[in-house]
Amino acid sequence: MAGNSFGQSFRITTFGESHGDAIGVIIDGCPPNISVDLDFIQAELDKRKPGQSKITTQRKESDTVKILSGIFEGKTTGTPLAMLIPNEDQRSKDYSHIQDKYRPSHADYTYQTKYGIRDYRGGGRSSARETAARVAAGAVAKLFLKELGISIFAHVSAVGNIEAPNLGDLDVNQLVAIREANIVRCADPATANQMITFIDSVRKEGDTVGGVVSAVIKGVPVGLGEPVFDKLHADLGKAMLSINAVHGFEYGSGFSGASMRGSEHNDIFVNPIKQATSLKTLTNFSGGIQGGISNGMDINFRVAFKPVATIMRSQSTINQQGEETEISGKGRHDPCVVPRAVAIVEAMAALVIVDHYLRNLNLGRA
Amino acid sequence: MAGNSFGQSFRITTFGESHGDAIGVIIDGCPPNISVDLDFIQAELDKRKPGQSKITTQRKESDTVKILSGIFEGKTTGTPLAMLIPNEDQRSKDYSHIQDKYRPSHADYTYQTKYGIRDYRGGGRSSARETAARVAAGAVAKLFLKELGISIFAHVSAVGNIEAPNLGDLDVNQLVAIREANIVRCADPATANQMITFIDSVRKEGDTVGGVVSAVIKGVPVGLGEPVFDKLHADLGKAMLSINAVHGFEYGSGFSGASMRGSEHNDIFVNPIKQATSLKTLTNFSGGIQGGISNGMDINFRVAFKPVATIMRSQSTINQQGEETEISGKGRHDPCVVPRAVAIVEAMAALVIVDHYLRNLNLGRA
Amino acid sequence: MAGNSFGQSFRITTFGESHGDAIGVIIDGCPPNISVDLDFIQAELDKRKPGQSKITTQRKESDTVKILSGIFEGKTTGTPLAMLIPNEDQRSKDYSHIQDKYRPSHADYTYQTKYGIRDYRGGGRSSARETAARVAAGAVAKLFLKELGISIFAHVSAVGNIEAPNLGDLDVNQLVAIREANIVRCADPATANQMITFIDSVRKEGDTVGGVVSAVIKGVPVGLGEPVFDKLHADLGKAMLSINAVHGFEYGSGFSGASMRGSEHNDIFVNPIKQATSLKTLTNFSGGIQGGISNGMDINFRVAFKPVATIMRSQSTINQQGEETEISGKGRHDPCVVPRAVAIVEAMAALVIVDHYLRNLNLGRA
Amino acid sequence: MAGNSFGQSFRITTFGESHGDAIGVIIDGCPPNISVDLDFIQAELDKRKPGQSKITTQRKESDTVKILSGIFEGKTTGTPLAMLIPNEDQRSKDYSHIQDKYRPSHADYTYQTKYGIRDYRGGGRSSARETAARVAAGAVAKLFLKELGISIFAHVSAVGNIEAPNLGDLDVNQLVAIREANIVRCADPATANQMITFIDSVRKEGDTVGGVVSAVIKGVPVGLGEPVFDKLHADLGKAMLSINAVHGFEYGSGFSGASMRGSEHNDIFVNPIKQATSLKTLTNFSGGIQGGISNGMDINFRVAFKPVATIMRSQSTINQQGEETEISGKGRHDPCVVPRAVAIVEAMAALVIVDHYLRNLNLGRA
């Protein structure tokens, strides 16, 4: 069984290679009667698209999305919603030099060995270009979440060793405004400047660097998540780990929780509005999820991205015939992937939340 | 859609509450003609069972497993393999004091709100007792992996701030021998002693502490993992995050990769045995997985566990009616969960690897 | 991917062989807070159990069901509901004569060839004994349907060439009373007598005979069914075809519709209670389903069962070594399976309706 | 959970409405290294497309398929294969007269009530136009089956009360040649002539008529089918019942088996080539499937289609406001759907067989 679908009730299936005709996505299970704001969907894609600034790849793609089905007179119909994003700026000849070489820390070797064939142009299916389809689907999910009063915010919280301080008590709109005012998409302006300078210097060295995207989801009702395997954080974790270059996921206290004691880690319940079903906790080491089910507090998590594997330097490697060879980076690549990854993290989070919102209805007889 | 199944081709479904008659698991998709070694399955369960030592809960359960179906004359038949583990030492009265109280950082509040009903005895379905069923299924998976020459090793690599050094180049059998010689299940004896002393002191304070389990999988062939969503590490991550108390997962370079540069992080291919399909890499920051597909190197990952929520101290909380109240730990609980979690981590890893091994056959025409 | 689960939102997984320790079923996705009437579940099982009358097998099984999990204080909890039915009257020696022989029109040859191993005792997993687990799960589904005002009725409408006339306008309770008053479970008493006499004569000849079970589902709301593949009748058809010995399924006009004209087959809409969402149709050739979605009319369908393959006569066959041999029926078998199959048809119908009821909630924003 | 996907290992998801921009399909799980013959795929679509003859609709669609992803240098790559069929001849104004009327025996009422919105143009998603996407996917499945030596043949065996005699012992190529020589696609030329004359007369009366498509699958190895729910015939049945207008499915002896005795119905095993794994049966009432698993004999089944609901006559009905109204057929419709349905039946059969072929590998260790 292949693995190009995600979600159960709000289920997406993506298709397409980096240098084929198009990439795209089908959403099956999209609730009917959602007003589809195409400008919003396009704006989400624009946050992920290449060529945005000096610290992203110079590859140019307009990433213009077209909806082929599933809407009627501007609203979703409950039938499959298919979206297509044509590929435009395909300089396939940029890749002829890697036709039979296995690029270090790329998927060339594993794809070739697994399938016995691969589209080597731009990484083919293993290219992060596939994530544009996720962002398009995630934008539709966000339109539904808006109706529900649920909002998602992600930003770049670390690049290399530069880490942003914890964000204060701003609302999501304020945070977005700050984040979008800088090209690295960090919601702390001072840190953003340091990050930009650093990425630019790394880029000039022909090198790349990793980073961390942190996210918060606000307004999630109590009850999302399906024990024991499809816990909400387990599906969030899978969603994030399925994004290209991600090597780690933690929520709530995360890895730091492993060195804490129960007496400090336990989140004490309080009942500020005195309704039995709307408790809060004084702390939130649980990250908004207890027993795999949302508890109504903010859901927060962090996602670690490794440095981009394509560097503008010569590296030794092996070719398809098993012989030693050299490879050097060509083409147009990102020195650091996290500024563009913010939109992908938000999209995947939106997909998980909508999926679990719809799954929860099945049991919702409380 | 509920969430009590895991895996696609080797699919398990668990059932049972902490204080019901029994817990159990069905494996659907178990390959036929595997010799079922019941002693091995029981031995795996014994590593997870309560009451093993002074640093685990004193609750006594023999956790004796019985196979109800799916084997004939000692071999699997390809039909559903059902296993049952009766519950024995149920002191349900230990839980009457929490009948209508929401224990901090437990699942009481979220289960009650989601379902409108809950079995409060011992946490009911949210109890980690459910993981015994996973260990039983994982043991069957391991029997299949043995035939394939794939082995899995996990151990406690951190408790609180005590961290084990990297393990040397020992084989899995040697590592298991060292690990099983101490009650904390750390493969470094000196660190193990420190951990044991620390956990015991925490226990005496009525407190609990978190920890980290690290794991390695050896002998995985190239090609396991199904892009783009069911990447091997994404499914490993979900598997680990679905274990009670887990708050973080990383593989390969993990979170530390986020601060590295591409030039140091890239794993350079070499070809020691000069066969085109058996490459190695000089480093292994990829953690044995590239593009979501195993590359033949060791797969390694780390799993963060929060401190156990039940502490032997008084805490304020809210009851089911929304009123403030006090709660104090009773019953028999673990001061630190990781020594028993080692078996669970290995079991879930085995389930993921077998599942992807069987899924890969679908496309295996290389 | 193996095939021992059925349903998406109300998902059952069955296990067990005819002569193993037990058979059973897990329901995952059972809504919480359903009152579980064990007597009702047992009564449903009693309609399927062997040894009921002279026209069923004389094999004796009490088919006593035990619930292992998923209920608390008499109500479902939303967690997996596991049910176990121990096997009692296992005369495995009855089957030693077929240990290596392939019984004609049984599953011996296909199981052996597919899996390379089989539990030959009583047909192992291929035995219709497995359907007891379905009846148990279906009984839980029926308890939920009762709350929704949906009822299901099936009866034996044909045995051999003896066919019952169309039933008049009785309600389900009346129909059940008539049906249960005769051992063949036909809701037309005169026809029932003919059927019983006929089956008894076939039995005395050491032969068997097929039959048809007809069913109606009343009270289904408009909107159940998920186009384009999971149409309500497609899932009903699959459910019925998955029952042992079933060779055909039709709904509404069925095969006779193939020889009709559109002008006579079209069901004309009327609006007796003058509400826009509660239309009726003058005829019901659509069988209560249009475009794969229930339209609020009675859902009716017919299921064809082949004659039982085990006959009390000598037949030539081939053994596992490929050699010609003779086989003669031993043990205790049904001369006609449909009287016991009525409960299975109702159970599978209940499972389909509940599953689609829960699936429909996902999109239910009309 | 919505229902626009079919299959597990070879999984298709279709999208698109009758009068949207395009319809299409994604295949996830297509084995790599299949040579993709675009002319063959187009030829399959041409058998289903409208406007072929006087007895099909005069609507004109070239149904030109384009592959967007999943192939490289003419071969499948194991990644999702997406195919697009643009909609061309959309006379949406033909449908303005039904904008708010519920056509009898169509899906207008059920879609509107289920989703609260519907694309009324040409039936939207409920249109049989969707089946073009199935035929395209089925054609890819057939390319894989060709490699395996498995062939599928379907033809029109009944229209109204005109039934074709049983076909003699011709091979599939011969049968196809006879069938394609007449516009009704019946493999008996004399019967074909009667059918054509009859359909044409029905058409002239503004009426429509139903029919039956019969099919045979040759060359299936022993072992396909996954008990107990995903029996091969159960999945074939679901596949067929999911096709627009289908009201019945039977395999092997089908409904006629219900009136037979075991002593005549049992298929006696013989071993003509004296190999233990290649048995034959003297008769084939089992239809090539025993216990839900293929037994190596021809698989045969019959599919009943109701008459097309759109007739060129005036009918009374109800509109969206619940008021009585009149409706009369406009546009271009088929007087009988079965000649074009032959390609759909073959496509769905191919999808089921490939899916089960790939699923079977999981357990194939015999």
pLDDT single digits (tens) C134-153: 999 999 999 999 999 999 99
Contact B15, A227 (CB under 8 A): no
pLDDT of residue C243: 98
Place C366 in a pLDDT band, splitting at 50, 70 and 90.
Answer: very low
Q: Determine, for residues C262 and D111 on separate chains, whether the beta-carbon distance falls below 8 Å.
A: no
Taking all residues of chain C, what is their mean pLDDT, rounded to a whole number? 94
pLDDT score for A93: 65
What is the mean predicted confidence (pLDDT) over B65-83? 97
C361 shares contact with chain D (CB less than 8 Å): no
As a whole-number percent, the residues of chain C with pLDDT over 90 amount to 86
What single letter denotes the amino acid at residue D366?
A
Give the mean pLDDT of C80-107: 86
* pLDDT, tens only, D127-157: 999 999 999 999 999 999 999 999 999 999 9
Query: Taking a C-beta distance cutoff of 8 angstroms, is the pair C329, C310 a contact?
Result: yes
Query: Residue D207 and residue C262: Cβ atoms within 8 Å?
Result: yes
Mean pLDDT of B218-231: 97
pLDDT in tens, A192-235: 999 999 999 999 999 999 999 999 999 999 999 999 999 999 99
Residue B93: what pLDDT?
A: 65
- In the prediction, which pLDDT does B276 show? 82
- Residue A366's pLDDT is 41
pLDDT in tens, D91-121: 666 677 788 999 999 999 999 999 999 999 9
At C10 the pLDDT is 97
pLDDT band, very low/low/confident/very high, at C54 (cuts 50, 70, 90) = confident
DSSP B3: B
* Cβ pair A309:B266 closer than 8 A: yes
Cβ atoms B211, B305 nearer than 8 A: yes
Q: Mean pLDDT of all residues in chain B?
A: 94
Higher pLDDT, D64 or A168: D64
Using the predicted structure, report yes or no on whether residue C32 has a pLDDT greater than 60.
yes
Work out the minimum CA distance from B78 to partner chain A, whole angstroms: 18
pLDDT for res D366: 41
A29–D contact, CB cutoff 8 A: yes
Q: Of B173-177, B307-311, B340-344, C57-61, where does mean pLDDT reach its minimum?
A: C57-61
pLDDT of residue C363: 54
B20 CB within 8 Å of a chain C CB: yes
Non-local CB neighbours of D122 within 8 Å, separated by 6+ positions: D17, D18, D19, D90, D92, D94, D95, D129, D331
- pTM comes to 0.97
Computed over every residue of chain D, the mean pLDDT equals 94
Per-residue pLDDT tens for B137-196?
999 999 999 999 999 999 999 999 999 999 888 899 999 999 999 999 999 999 999 999
In this structure, what is the dihedral angle of CA atoms D297, D298, D299, D301, given to the nearest 10 degrees?
-140
Backbone angles phi, psi at A98, to 5 degrees: -115, 10
- Residue A247 confidence class, pLDDT cut points 50, 70, 90: very high
Residue C92: predicted pLDDT: 60
**Confidence check: pLDDT of B363 > 60:** no
Q: Is the pLDDT of residue A86 over 80?
A: yes
Identify whether the C-beta of residue B68 lies closer than 8 Å to the C-beta of residue C22.
Answer: yes
Task: Output the pLDDT for position D52.
Answer: 86
The mean predicted confidence, pLDDT, of chain A is: 94
Share of chain A above pLDDT 90, in %: 86
Residue B122 CA to residue B117 CA, distance in Å, equals 15
**pLDDT tens per residue, range B263-289:** 999 999 999 999 888 899 999 999 999
CATH superfamily of B5-252+287-363: Chorismate synthase AroC (3.60.150.10)
The pLDDT value given to residue A362: 58
What's the rounded mean pLDDT across residues C13-25? 96
Sequence length of chain B is: 366
pLDDT digits 0-9 by tens, C111-120: 999 999 999 9
Sign of CA dihedral D163, D166, D168, D172: positive
pLDDT of B91 over the 70 cut: no
For residue range C310-327, list pLDDT tens digits in order.
999 999 999 999 999 999
Strands D211-218 and D162-163: unpaired
Nearest residue, CB atoms, C13 vs list B13, B16, B66: B13
Write out chain D residues lying below 8 Å of B364, CB-based.
361
Please determine, for residue D51, whether its predicted confidence score (pLDDT) is greater than 90.
no
CB distance from C285 to chain D under 8 Å?
yes
Q: What is the CATH number of domain D5-252+287-361?
A: 3.60.150.10
Asked if residue B72 lies in contact with residue B79, where contact means CB atoms within 8 angstroms, the answer is no
The answer to whether the Cβ–Cβ distance between D82 and A125 falls below 8 Å is: no
Encode pLDDT of C211-228 as tens digits: 999 999 999 999 999 999
CA-based nearest distance D131→chain C, Å: 9
- Cα distance between the two ends of chain B: 36
Q: Which of C109, C241, C251 sits opposite D295 (nearest CB)?
A: C109
D 37-66 near A (Cβ less than 8 A):
66
For residue B248, pLDDT beyond 90: yes
Tens of pLDDT, residues C258-311: 999 999 999 999 999 998 888 999 999 999 999 999 999 999 999 999 999 999
* pLDDT over threshold 80, residue C330: no
> Residues 105 to 134 of B: which have CB under 8 A from any A CB?
105-107, 109-111, 113-116, 125-126, 130
Express each pLDDT in B316-330 by its tens digit: 999 999 999 999 877
DSSP string, A297-350: SPEEEEEEEPPPS--SSEEEEEBTTS-EEEEE--S---S-SHHHHHHHHHHHHH
| Token pair belonging to B309 | 């929520």
Q: Does C292 touch chain D (CB under 8 A)?
A: yes
Residue A166 assigned as binding residue: no
pLDDT in the model for residue D167? 86
Q: What tokens does B130 get?
A: 């459910």
pLDDT at site B97: 77
pLDDT over threshold 60, residue D177: yes
What HEC string does chain C produce? CCECEECCCCEEEEECCCCCCEEEEEEECCCCCCECCHHHHHHHHHHHCCCCCCCCCCCCCCCCCEEEECEECCEECCCCEEEEEECCCCCHHHHHHHCCECCCCCCHHHHHHHHCCCCCHHHHHHCHHHHHHHHHHHHHHHHHHHHHCCEEEEEEEEECCEECCCCCCCCHHHHHHHHHCCCCCCCCHHHHHHHHHHHHHHHHCCCCECEEEEEEEECCCCCCCECECECHHHHHHHHHHCCCCEEEEEECCHHHHHHCEHHHHCCCEECCCCCCCCCEECCCCCCCEECCEECCCCEEEEEEECCCCCCCCEEEEEECCCCEEEEECCCCCCCCCHHHHHHHHHHHHHHHHHHHHHHHHCCCCC
pLDDT at B366: 41
CA distance A35 to A281: 35
pLDDT on residue C365: 47
Select the residue of C32, C33, C117 nearest B72 (Cβ to Cβ): C117
Neighbours of chain C (3+ CB pairs under 8 A): A, B, D
The pLDDT of residue C88 is 85
Under the banding of pLDDT at 50, 70 and 90, the label for residue C91 is: low
pLDDT at D3: 97
* CB-count burial class (<10 Å; 0-12, 13-18, 19+) for B193: middle
Residue D253 CA to residue B191 CA, distance in Å, equals 71
Q: What is the pLDDT of residues D115-124, one digit of tens each?
A: 999 999 989 9
The pLDDT value given to residue C6: 98
| Nearest residue to B10 (alpha-carbon basis) of B190, B115, B209, B144 | B144
Residue D350 has pLDDT above 80, yes or no: yes
Contacting subunits of B (3+ beta carbon pairs below 8 A): A, C, D
Checking if the pLDDT of A187 tops 90, the result is yes
Mean pLDDT of A41-61: 89
Angle in degrees, 0-180, between the axes of helices C38-48 and C131-148, rounded to the nearest 10: 130
Half-sphere exposure of A76 (CA within 13 A, CB side): 28
The answer to the question of whether A313 is labelled as a binding residue is no
> Which positions of C make up the binding site for NADP(+)?
48, 54
Beta bridge partners of A25: A14, A83
Question: Mean pLDDT over residues D148-170, rounded?
Answer: 95
- pLDDT tier, B89 (very low <50, low <70, confident <90, very high otherwise): low
Please name every residue paired with A217 in a beta bridge, in sequence order, or none if there are none.
A152, A299
Six-digit token pair at D14? 């279709």
